[in-house]
Amino acid sequence: MTRVHNFGAGPSVLPPEVMEQVQREMLDFAGTGMSVLEVSHRSRPFDQVVNDAEARVRDLLGVPATHSVLFVQGGATTQFAAVWYNLLASQVVRSRFPAGAPAPPADYLVTGTWSRKAAEEVTRLGGRVNVAFDAAQSPSTGRAYTGVPPTAEWQTTGPRSRDAAYVYYCDNETVNGVEWDAVPDVHPDTVLVCDISSNAMSRPVDVARFGIIFAGAQKNMGPAGVTVVIVRNDLLVRTGPDHPYVPFPTMLDYEVARAHRSLYNTPPTFAIYVCDLVFKWIQERGGVAGMAERSQAKLAALTPVLDGSTLYRCPVAARYRSRMNVVLTLTRPELEAAFLAGAQQRGMVQLKGHRSVGGIRISLYNALDLASVQALAAYMVAFEREHAT
Amino acid sequence: MTRVHNFGAGPSVLPPEVMEQVQREMLDFAGTGMSVLEVSHRSRPFDQVVNDAEARVRDLLGVPATHSVLFVQGGATTQFAAVWYNLLASQVVRSRFPAGAPAPPADYLVTGTWSRKAAEEVTRLGGRVNVAFDAAQSPSTGRAYTGVPPTAEWQTTGPRSRDAAYVYYCDNETVNGVEWDAVPDVHPDTVLVCDISSNAMSRPVDVARFGIIFAGAQKNMGPAGVTVVIVRNDLLVRTGPDHPYVPFPTMLDYEVARAHRSLYNTPPTFAIYVCDLVFKWIQERGGVAGMAERSQAKLAALTPVLDGSTLYRCPVAARYRSRMNVVLTLTRPELEAAFLAGAQQRGMVQLKGHRSVGGIRISLYNALDLASVQALAAYMVAFEREHAT
């Protein structure tokens, strides 16, 4: 069999070295005579995997001792609810507001589909959401998810969200191809929360600045079915009766996950095991700084094709173009099907844009090889030349 | 390498034929040139897996058209909350009670650790729980999880729980080794909810009798990380403003999962894929009736050892002894470590009882071979003889 060039947005390409190890060990994990699928989550060999995975996340992202690393289930969508439940029940958060006052609002910075959905989830739960901006409503972004409006436009709760329970944003919008170029400058009194599902471990991050930072694994870190949550421990102390909060499921409670080291109930053992192998693979290639370099090399192979093109158009402002998901439309949309079919014939797959926006999406995650991008770039140039009018 | 005899309570032994197929296909799934870990959950090959897995569950358990089959995340523990949220928001459930009345209680039949935890979760969420009985408090069971108290003792909400929102029980208590020998006889007006995590697909079940029946996969059906929920569709219609209910997370909403065919967000693709292969393996061996026969054969190999023993003692009443998890104590507890060490030397692993109860636990799930039970039985006889006083 021939491996294809996999540009999928997630679940997505994983390192071949990791896949081969998973295959080799499938029937006998760590000399146990059992598959990794068959060992108890309370066994010593699996305990080693969880410890190892946590240590590698700490190493790769420089997680300070003030923060816990949790492995949970349900994808980022589950975290949309968990973030609100946990922070509105946090003594650190609530003690900033008068006793007996209604629960404070949370500020959401909406740059695309996923940050919008995160805000909608809190509204669903009955929480107070303040959308500080929605780029799809802002004249500065052409009323579309093409970048981040200037801070002067943000309608925050108090100066720089000082009076918000927390500020939420999504560092890289997978569907829209919009990536923040810096951490938003919020008031030190509030709590910063960030979804890094689709650019986790692709560049260094200053974890200390965040109250909560989380990522579904299935893009840059491993298979679908596990989510990494990094949370500041002091936020997990519960507030008292002066600040009533909404009770919430045990499985969404970060303090339960922390106290049980992600083993409150049976965790997704296989997914954690594969993540651990991917973390090791990243460590062996220069860590997240190494991944950032790989990313730059891939962009360097692709960007000239886009810059010199009259066919391929990226709607995102240059400053906010995602390094992970390059979203394109064709100026001649009638060629889209032929473009995708030709790519498929050449073994370049999963290039179709998200069903909500259409077009083409080129995902350039950590495990994608430069050679795949070079092959795609060559095809794109040839395709444009072939269809020149 | 030699495969061991795996008596683990979960994650537990899986069919070797399935493991070998998973290994073979790891680098190239369904001719895609990608690992199953790398394909989009929205791709045709994975769609086929979900369809297939659903069809096989329907076939194996005889799921009627009135019910949906969902694949969700978070283990049975997440369902402890989801059951309550969904049913208290159900028009069918709430319309049985007067408008404006407080939300109705749910009846819990507590036969062990997991049904107790399920009740505790609803209390945590602010729900009204009526523990119809807790076997650990009942004189008829010796105030321990050793069976089901007689129905005359049950303190139900109304006759046969007629006035309860729903009745909840756990068909097989993995920790305590207690299995119901029949479906509890509840009033037809209420809704029956059952956790079959550790005996799913080990015997036929009349799904039509249940409003919700669910199981974590990691015992009889596949790897950890996916939970199968079967729910009666008419229960998913939301009640109106006359019956206020607690808003709850999208990811716990069965109607969202149903409407999106378990693909609202990225599902645990690999776990569903392995389950599908296990379902096929069960189908090829006579379905759940075939599994029930296999189970009887395994019990027939083990039971004489227990019956003739003065060393091994099962605390559970004969009628309620689990066919899946045989829980034992030694009448000479000082021999427990030697028993486990000797077993380990002979390649018989994961026999230690749950950390909350100690002792020995022999799990006899679908994929465990009769030969493993025969080997264990022979060892148990020899061990008892060797240590006869």
| Residue at a domain's end among A268, A283, A298 | A283
Asked if B6's CB is within 8 angstroms of A34's CB, the reply is: yes
Decide if A4 is inside a domain.
no
Among the partner-chain residues A74, A249, A269, the one whose CB lies closest to the CB of B73 is: A74
Closest CA–CA distance from residue B255 to any residue of chain A (Å): 15
CATH number of the domain enclosing A376: 3.90.1150.10
Exposure b/e, B73-98, CB count within 10 A at least 16 = b: bbbbbbbbbbbbbbbbbbeebbebbe
Q: What is the pLDDT of residue B355?
A: 85
Domain count, chain B: 2
Are A351 and A266 in the same domain? no
For residue A355, list chain B residues with Cβ-Cβ distance below 8 A: 42
Tell whether the model's pLDDT for residue B389 goes beyond 90: no
| Interface residue B244 vs chain A (CB under 8 A) | no
Q: What is the pLDDT of residue A140?
A: 96
Query: What is the rounded distance in angstroms from the CA atom of residue B289 to the CA atom of residue B362?
Result: 22
Give the tens place of pLDDT for each residue, A273-290: 999 999 999 999 999 999
What are B133's strand-pairing partners? B109
Decide if B8 is inside a domain.
no
| Contact criterion met (CB below 8 Å) for A194 and A118 | no
| Residue at a domain's end among B213, B248, B283 | B283
Q: Which residue of A has its CA nearest to B344?
A: A32
Q: What is the pLDDT of residue B2?
A: 73
Among the partner-chain residues B226, B266, B355, the one whose CB lies closest to the CB of A11 is: B266
Are A226 and A338 in the same domain? no
| Residue at a domain's end among B228, B251, B283 | B283
Interface subset of B 85-114, CB within 8 angstroms of A: none
Decide if A5 is inside a domain.
no
Interface subset of A 61-80, CB within 8 angstroms of B: 73-78, 80
Are B276 and B293 in the same domain? no
Query: B interface mutation test: which of A40, A175, A350 has the most B CBs within 10 A?
Result: A40
Tell whether the model's pLDDT for residue B136 goes beyond 60: yes
Give the tens place of pLDDT for each residue, B272-282: 999 999 999 99
Tell whether the model's pLDDT for residue B95 goes beyond 60: yes
For residue B20, list chain A residues with Cβ-Cβ distance below 8 A: 27
Q: What is the pLDDT of residue B155?
A: 98
| Interface residue B6 vs chain A (CB under 8 A) | yes
Q: What is the pLDDT of residue A1?
A: 52
Decide if A28 is inside a domain.
yes
Interface subset of B 154-193, CB within 8 angstroms of A: none
Q: What is the pLDDT of residue B64?
A: 98
Q: What is the pLDDT of residue A355?
A: 85
Decide if B3 is inside a domain.
no
Q: How many interchain CB pairs under 8 A, A with B? A: 218
Are B276 and B380 in the same domain? no
Q: Which residue of B has its CA nearest to A39?
A: B11
Are B44 and B111 in the same domain? yes
- What parts of chain A have a pLDDT lower than 50? none
Decide if B12 is inside a domain.
no
Residue corresponding to tokens 């919020």: A186
Among the partner-chain residues A8, A216, A249, the one whose CB lies closest to the CB of B40 is: A8
Range of the domain at A237: 17-283
| Mean pLDDT calculated for residue range B119-138 | 98
Among the partner-chain residues A33, A35, A347, the one whose CB lies closest to the CB of B2 is: A33
Tell whether the model's pLDDT for residue B1 goes beyond 70: no
Are A273 and A304 in the same domain? no
Give the tens place of pLDDT for each residue, B213-267: 999 999 999 999 999 999 999 999 999 999 999 999 999 999 999 999 999 999 9
Interface subset of A 34-63, CB within 8 angstroms of B: 34-35, 37-43
B352 catalytic per annotation: no
Closest CA–CA distance from residue B159 to any residue of chain A (Å): 30
Are B264 and B292 in the same domain? no
Q: Which residue of B has its CA nearest to A355?
A: B42
Decide if B309 is inside a domain.
yes
Are A174 and A222 in the same domain? yes
Are B291 and B278 in the same domain? no
Query: B interface mutation test: which of A6, A13, A17, A37 has the most B CBs within 10 A?
Result: A37
For residue B245, list chain A residues with Cβ-Cβ distance below 8 A: none
Q: What is the pLDDT of residue A147?
A: 98
Among the partner-chain residues B75, B226, B249, the one whose CB lies closest to the CB of A78 is: B249
Asked if B268's CB is within 8 angstroms of A271's CB, the reply is: yes
| Interface residue B127 vs chain A (CB under 8 A) | no
Give the tens place of pLDDT for each residue, B320-339: 999 999 999 999 999 999 99
Asked if A125's CB is within 8 angstroms of B223's CB, the reply is: no
Give the tens place of pLDDT for each residue, B329-384: 999 999 999 999 999 999 999 999 988 888 999 999 999 999 999 999 999 999 99
Closest CA–CA distance from residue A317 to any residue of chain B (Å): 27
Give the tens place of pLDDT for each residue, A155-170: 999 999 999 999 999 9
Are B109 and B136 in the same domain? yes
Residue corresponding to tokens 């560092």: A171
Decide if B266 is inside a domain.
yes
Q: Using pLDDT thresholds of 50, 70 and 90, give the confidence band for residue B3.
A: confident
For residue A71, list chain B residues with Cβ-Cβ distance below 8 A: none
For residue B265, list chain A residues with Cβ-Cβ distance below 8 A: 75-77
Q: ∠ CA A279-A284-A290 to the nearest 5 degrees? A: 90
Are A248 and A169 in the same domain? yes
For residue B26, list chain A residues with Cβ-Cβ distance below 8 A: 19, 22-23, 26
Q: To the nearest whole number, what is the mean pLDDT of chain B?
A: 97
Asked if B32's CB is within 8 angstroms of A224's CB, the reply is: no
Which residues of A carry out catalysis? Answer: 114, 195, 219
Give the tens place of pLDDT for each residue, B101-116: 899 999 999 999 999 9
Are A202 and A331 in the same domain? no
Give the tens place of pLDDT for each residue, B176-215: 999 999 999 999 999 999 999 999 999 999 999 999 999 9
ipTM above 0.95, yes or no: yes
Query: What is the rounded distance in angstroms from the CA atom of residue A275 to the CA atom of residue A56?
Result: 10
Q: Which residue of A has its CA nearest to B271?
A: A225
Q: What is the pLDDT of residue A389?
A: 74
Q: What is the pLDDT of residue B357?
A: 86
Q: What does A54-112 look like in DSSP terms, one character per residue?
A: HHHHHHHHT--TTEEEEEESSHHHHHHHHHHHHHHTBHHHHTTS-TTSPPPPEEEEE-S
| Mean pLDDT calculated for residue range B143-161 | 98
B114 catalytic per annotation: yes
Give the tens place of pLDDT for each residue, B49-68: 999 999 999 999 999 999 99
Asked if A74's CB is within 8 angstroms of B264's CB, the reply is: no
